[in-house]
Amino acid sequence: MTKLSVNINKIATLRNARGGRYPDVLKAAIDCQRFGAEGITVHPRPDERHIRYADVLDIAPLISTEFNIEGYPNASFMDLVLRVKPHQVTLVPDPPEALTSNAGWDTLANAGLLSEVLAEFKRHGIRTSLFTGTEARMIEGARAVGADRVEFYTEPYADLYPENKEAAVRPFVDAAKVASDLGLGINAGHDLSLHNLRYLVQCIPAILEVSIGHALISDALYFGLENTIQRYRRELQ
């Protein structure tokens, strides 16, 4: 079954809106695992507008499942990841001012940077994943620079899904075949929800892990966190 990693950034966003410690992101990480999540994802950004670097250090010892740290590989991010040594690091091409991730890597134009960074993480035993689109040459580029996995940027799928789900998923099915043939593991994330998740994993059973934050935390406002995590897990079955 595809694993569910819960991105808890939005909980930190809510905390930061008022300051203080509430809601408690450490408790959220513990509870998500207790309620059935098979991983915790965080994406610390340089401005610390949601998850802070200190949060990452505090959360790491609490993870009993899998810890996935996402981010752009600047010097401070590299230092943080090498200090924590999570199970997985997912590199995204976000500039510091980006509101959210909105594209995959150009793995060809950034081959030098990515090769160096991935080699450093792998020397420390950290599984590596690159955020990519569905272009075959970019997936091939991910393999060439030494990534263990790719994480498909699924906003285009989510946008087209209500209109034509077959057309929405087709590029991702083709991309998954390319990745699998190259020996790359497949993750997926961005704008996945209770409405579109089941169809994606039915069409692409090779997806190992989905990382979901915004929709899941939003749903938890209505359904409660435990119930929401169980709902997402049922979609993955």
> Which tens digit of pLDDT belongs to each residue from 34-62?
999 999 999 999 889 899 999 999 999 99
Mean of pLDDT over the chain: 96
* pTM of the predicted model over 0.85: yes
- CA dist 80 and 187 (Å) reads 22
- Give the 3-state secondary structure percentages of the chain, helix then strand then coil, rounded to 5: 50, 15, 35
Give the rounded percent of residues in the chain with a pLDDT score beyond 90.
92
Q: Which of 66, 190, 209, 235 is catalytic?
A: 190
Residue 41 confidence (pLDDT): 98
- pLDDT attached to residue 46: 87
- 43 given a catalytic annotation: yes
Kindly state the average pLDDT of the residues 95-112. 79
If pLDDT is split at 50, 70 and 90, which confidence band does 66 have?
A: very high
3-27 b/e with 16+ CB inside 10 Å = b? bbbbbbbbbbbbbeeeeeeeeebee
Identify the band that residue 95 occupies on the pLDDT scale cut at 50, 70 and 90: low
Backbone φ and ψ for 149, nearest 5 degrees, come out as: -140, 165
Instruction: Determine which one of 70, 151, 209, 235 is catalytic.
Output: 70
Residues 195-233: tens digit of each pLDDT: 999 999 999 999 999 999 999 999 999 999 999 999 999
Residue 1 token pair: 């079954």
- Catalytic, out of 43, 151, 209, 235: 43
At 8, which CATH number? Answer: 3.20.20.70
> In the prediction, which pLDDT does 94 show?
78
**Rounded Cα gap, residues 15 and 224, in angstroms:** 17
Q: Which two tokens stand for residue 176?
A: 């998954």
Q: C-alpha angle with apex 14: 12 to 16, nearest 5 degrees? A: 70
pLDDT at 99 over 70: no
Amino acid at 121: F
Q: Please tell me the distance from the alpha carbon of residue 48 to that of residue 42, in angstroms, as a whole number.
A: 11
Higher pLDDT, 99 or 152: 152
User: Quick check: helix, strand or coil at residue 28?
Assistant: helix
- In this prediction, residue 103 has a pLDDT band, given cuts at 50, 70 and 90, of confident
Question: How many domains does the chain fold into?
Answer: 1
Question: How do beta strands 207-212 and 185-189 pair?
Answer: parallel
For residue 11, is pLDDT > 80? yes
Q: What is the pLDDT of residues 134-187, one digit of tens each?
A: 999 999 999 999 999 999 999 999 999 999 999 999 999 999 999 999 999 999
| Residue 161 domain boundaries | 3-236
Contact predicate 84/54, CB 8 Å: no
Q: How many other CB atoms sit within 10 Å of the CB of residue 209?
A: 24
What pLDDT score was predicted for residue 100?
A: 57
Give the three-class secondary structure for 87. coil
> Can you give the pLDDT at residue 97?
60
- Residue 115 tokens, joined: 């090769």
CA-based R_g, the chain, Å:
17
